Amino acid sequence: MKVFHGTATYQGIAIGKIQYLRRNEQHIRQYTVESARREIRRFRKAKERALEALKFLYDKASLELGEEESKVFKSQISLLEAGSFTRAIEGMILSEKVNAAYAISTTRDELTKTFAKMEDEIIRNRVMDIKDISERLILIIEGISREDYADMEPVIVVANNLSPTEIMEMDQEKLLAFVSREGSPVSHTAIISKTLSIPSLIGIDVDPLWEDRMAIVDGYEGIFYLEPDEALLKKYERRRQEDLKEKEFLQKLRDKEDITLDGTRVKLFANIRSLEDLRSVQESGACGIGLLRSEFQYLGRENYPREIELFRAYKKVAETMGDKPVIIRTLDIGADKKAEYMDLPDEENPAMGNRGIRVCLERKRMFKAQLRAIYRASAYGNLAIMYPMVTSMSEIREVKEIVADVVDGLKKKEIPFKEIQHGIMVETPAAVMIAEDLAKEVDFLSLGTNDLTQYILAMDRKNPSLEGRYDDHHPAVLKMIQMTIDAAHKAGCWAGICGELAGDTSMTQTLLEMGVDVMSVVPPSILPVRKQIRKIILPNNVKSKPIEQ
């Protein structure tokens, strides 16, 4: 038996035989063509066939998965229809008189190399799209049919990388799990695996020789067992059955209240990173969105988003959520999230550098556009705003002046908007220590325990060598959480937690005993946390302040 560790993108257990997908691994021969024009015609025909297939998959995904999940197919279609990608391929055929398959693979490699260094998820998804389209075009041109999934047995699908189109071409009933070397937890593939409730692991050093061997996928621990022994198989079969029962049970909690056994009501909200997460928020039965990470509209593009684009996205979220609160965090760019066009200088220690509210206060035009977009969208739902990385009173006062300016402008132009709540993310020790004063300026404080832990412990949250030592249960962290909650309540504010700690069910009782009013977690954690809340009896002295939204 061999054991591999990776990252799980959907939690679940799968046991079964491996099917290894050998695509994306074909060797492309280069040769000179007699007529470049004829080769371009051949390429265009392949493009037409690829487009037909993608349009079919788009319709299938729209019907079976939903609007958001089918967008990936739409973006591949537009990449093929109008993109500089196909122009680059045709240009190469024409200028170098090379065969189409070679021009496609070279263009693909050049583009993916350019983007490879970028950490941004949206760009990584774009790279996956380019790889997937290229593979489809090459197979058509070379006359090779795509893997035939028609009669597949239930299998664990293993590949270097997997694309959403491939998943849609498979019989999803027969998919036990996906395991791949490449990919990211927020890739389209991961999103689809969640939508289909199929366990999946990324970052596993896969090998074509595994074909037909038995394996176990543990999507809770992120472990892949190759050729497990009998005892482990038995153990995991039991866990699989329990897991299925638990998931069935959790589904029954979808429409239940977040209330403890002693009758204390808690607000359980969801954290989202893009509009694509909206569907899972609705399915999870969350009572609102406690953190909309607004970076998704600023990353993976060539220039600042326009106010109208921002507005449309916020309006969509507001309308989708209806009366339920949606807290939009203003742009938290900098540190690990960089947009080339912003031209933020490289920093030696970016986590301690120019990020969050600091960048927004420096680039007021950009900040105002976002605030105006949020205010305009507020007319369509129940929106609130919160500000990341605040460390001083002067920052929040400056923010309030800018907000007042924006509101004034809207009034003058008679643009409708609603009064909205404002909050501060408490994610630095400085903010904790002045929380009482900060709280007087706003309606709520929301603890960002991911950054707060990093800054309290002086441990980079992304440094893998600190794994096991970066500890958000550390007494210093818990003490600061308590201080923040008390400070918020003293000032008449509500207090929330939107860092990962809120989704840690081993901490639910502790956090509620501390008096937290709102917990905001990733959509898959909503039901497990709700289950936990409903089991808890709080001591009499805990006074949770009901949130007024």
The residues assigned a catalytic role are 188, 498
Binder among 193, 274, 421, 449 for ligand PEP (CB under 6 A): 449
Residue 166 CA to residue 133 CA, distance in Å, equals 11
By beta-carbon proximity to Mg ion, the closer residue of 243 and 451 is 451
> How many positions of this chain bind Mg ion (CB under 5 A)?
3
By beta-carbon proximity to ligand PEP, the closer residue of 164 and 496 is 496
Q: Which two tokens stand for residue 515?
A: 């008096």
Q: How would you write 51-75 as a 3-class SS string?
A: HHHHHHHHHHHHHHCCHHHHHHHHH
Q: Among ligand PEP, Mg ion, none, what binds residue 498 when CB lies within 5 to 8 Å by partner kind?
A: ligand PEP
Residue 484 touches ligand PEP, criterion: CB under 6 A: no
Residue type, 194: K
Contact assessment for residue 141 and residue 127, using Cβ atoms and an 8 Å cutoff: no
Write out the E strands in 220-378. 223-226, 267-272, 289-293, 326-329
Binder among 132, 258, 451, 517 for ligand PEP (CB under 6 A): 451
Residue 413 CA to residue 78 CA, distance in Å, equals 37
Which region among 102-110, 318-326, 344-352, 448-456 touches ligand PEP (by CB under 6 A)?
448-456
- In whole angstroms, how close is the CB of 402 to ligand PEP at the nearest point? 22
Which region among 84-92, 94-102, 146-154, 442-450 touches ligand PEP (by CB under 6 A)?
442-450
Q: Residue 155 belongs to what H/E stretch? A: strand 155-159
- In whole angstroms, how close is the CB of 191 to ligand PEP at the nearest point? 18
Binder among 395, 451, 504, 517 for Mg ion (CB under 5 A): 451
Residue 106 CA to residue 103 CA, distance in Å, equals 5
By beta-carbon proximity to ligand PEP, the closer residue of 398 and 500 is 500
Residue 291 CA to residue 257 CA, distance in Å, equals 20
Q: Can you state the angle between helices 36-64 and 67-82, rounded to 10 degrees? A: 170
Residue 293 touches ligand PEP, criterion: CB under 6 A: yes
Q: How many C-beta neighbours within 10 Å does residue 485 have?
A: 26
Residue 498 touches ligand PEP, criterion: CB under 6 A: yes
- 8-47 footprint of ligand PEP as x/- string (CB under 6 A): ----------------------------------------
Question: Which residues have a Cβ under 8 Å from the Cβ of 4 and sit 6 or more positions away?
Answer: 204, 205, 223, 224, 225, 226
By beta-carbon proximity to Mg ion, the closer residue of 395 and 451 is 451
Residue 448 touches Mg ion, criterion: CB under 5 A: yes
Window 330-389: residues binding ligand PEP (CB under 6 A): 332
- In whole angstroms, how close is the CB of 453 to ligand PEP at the nearest point? 8
What phi, psi does 372 have (nearest 5°)?
-60, -40
Residue 427 touches ligand PEP, criterion: CB under 6 A: yes
Which region among 86-94, 175-183, 214-222, 446-454 touches ligand PEP (by CB under 6 A)?
446-454
Write out the E strands in 160-248. 175-180, 200-202, 214-218, 223-226
Residue 264 touches ligand PEP, criterion: CB under 6 A: no
By beta-carbon proximity to ligand PEP, the closer residue of 216 and 502 is 502
Residue 260 touches ligand PEP, criterion: CB under 6 A: no
Contact assessment for residue 421 and residue 549, using Cβ atoms and an 8 Å cutoff: yes
- 421-440 footprint of Mg ion as x/- string (CB under 5 A): ------x-------------
Binder among 12, 199, 448, 503 for ligand PEP (CB under 6 A): 448
Residue 450 touches ligand PEP, criterion: CB under 6 A: yes
Q: Among Mg ion, ligand PEP, none, what binds residue 532 when CB lies within 5 to 8 Å by partner kind?
A: none
By beta-carbon proximity to ligand PEP, the closer residue of 332 and 517 is 332
Which region among 29-37, 50-58, 247-255, 444-452 touches ligand PEP (by CB under 6 A)?
444-452
Q: Which two tokens stand for residue 275?
A: 């509009």
Instruction: Give the SS3 label for residue 404.
Output: helix
- In whole angstroms, how close is the CB of 446 to ligand PEP at the nearest point? 8
Window 513-542: residues binding ligand PEP (CB under 6 A): none
By beta-carbon proximity to ligand PEP, the closer residue of 86 and 453 is 453
325 CA to centre of own chain: 20
Residue 504 touches ligand PEP, criterion: CB under 6 A: no
514 CA to centre of own chain: 29
Q: Which of 500, 505, 494 is nearest to 477 (CA)?
A: 500
Residue 199 touches ligand PEP, criterion: CB under 6 A: no
Q: Exposed (0-12), middle (13-18) or buried (19+): which is 349, by Cβ within 10 Å? A: exposed
> How many positions of this chain bind ligand PEP (CB under 6 A)?
10
Residue 544 CA to residue 277 CA, distance in Å, equals 29
Q: Are strands 267-272 and 223-226 parallel, antiparallel or unpaired?
A: unpaired
Q: Among ligand PEP, Mg ion, none, what binds residue 293 when CB lies within 5 to 8 Å by partner kind?
A: ligand PEP
Residue nearest to Mg ion (CB): 451
What phi, psi does 496 have (nearest 5°)?
-125, 170
Q: Which two tokens stand for residue 183?
A: 């990919």
Residue 543 CA to residue 130 CA, distance in Å, equals 54
Q: Among ligand PEP, Mg ion, none, what binds residue 449 when CB lies within 5 to 8 Å by partner kind?
A: ligand PEP
- In whole angstroms, how close is the CB of 388 to Mg ion at the nearest point? 6
Angle formed at CA 522 by CA 221 and CA 376, multiple of 5 degrees: 160
List residues binding ligand PEP (CB under 6 A): 291, 293, 332, 427, 448-451, 498-499
List residues binding Mg ion (CB under 5 A): 427, 448, 451
